[in-house]
Amino acid sequence: MKIVAHSDHAGVELRLEMIEQARELGHHVDDLGPALGEKVDYPYAGAVVGHKVASGEYDLGILVCGTGVGISLAANKVAGARAVVCSEPYTARLSRQHNASNIVAVGERVVGPGEARMIVEAFLSTEPAGGRHAQRVEMLKALDDPSIDLEQLRQMGPACAG
């Protein structure tokens, strides 16, 4: 899989750890930085990865900031990006299975290196489940259009199908 990774200045060390784990698992990872000591704002880093993943240039993305929250919010502003904040592997696995998440965000001030490695492994080794979850992912995609009619959205869901 082709993966892109980025962080702000608060997430450099953990980003490097996560990249190493992804590469050990056999994935190609492009590291967009920053280097230790460089300053990068999390909205920029999140937006860059959001665009690169949503455009199809990369299959998946890895983001790291202090908590994972701000950088994921920035990525999720990009239509087609589905970033999830994870502090343990279970959420990483289920976000891929149920939500077809395409970006994982982690907080260096929240998660240690060992846990981050487990999150990467869970995220990268899990595929979207399809089935009823695929219908809900389509609903998420529909939300990229701010003019979506909410009743139309409700009717798209499997809860209304039966």
Is 98 tagged catalytic? Answer: yes
Task: State the first-to-last Cα distance of the chain, in angstroms, to the nearest integer.
Answer: 37
- H or E element: which one contains 138? helix 132-142
Alpha-helical regions (H) of the chain: 12-24, 42-54, 69-76, 89-99, 113-124, 132-142, 150-156
Give the active site residue among 6, 9, 65, 86: 65
Given 27, 98, 133, 160, the catalytic residue: 98
- By DSSP bridging, strand 2-7 and strand 60-65 are parallel
What's the CA gap between 70 and 27, in Å, rounded?
A: 26
Give the catalytic positions in this structure.
65, 98
